[in-house]
């Protein structure tokens, strides 16, 4: 399990939307958290 950086929920990294930012891959509970992150990744890292 990893933490969704947008809402801080625990998510299963095998079955969740993901974005790469810098060296890391971030995982999200839902597509709307992913799109929030994609708009402003610096805010969540
Ligand atoms: Zn989320």
Q: What is the DSSP string of 3-15?
A: E-TTT--EE-GGG
This prediction's pTM: 0.91
Residue 24 alpha carbon to ligand 1 centre in Å: 17
| CA nearest to 9, candidates 26, 29, 34 | 29
Residue 29 alpha carbon to ligand 1 centre in Å: 4
- Condensed to tens digits (0 to 9), the pLDDT of residues 1-43 reads 999 999 999 999 999 999 999 999 999 999 999 999 999 999 9
Q: What is the pLDDT of residue 15?
A: 95
Task: Parse the chain into domains and list their residue ranges.
Answer: 2-44
Residue 31 alpha carbon to ligand 1 centre in Å: 8
């Amino acid at each position: 399990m990893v933490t969704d950086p947008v809402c801080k929920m625990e998510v299963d990294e095998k079955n969740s939307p993901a974005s790469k930012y810098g060296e890391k891959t971030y995982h999200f509970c839902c597509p709307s958290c992913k799109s929030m992150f994609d708009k402003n990744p610096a805010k969540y890292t």
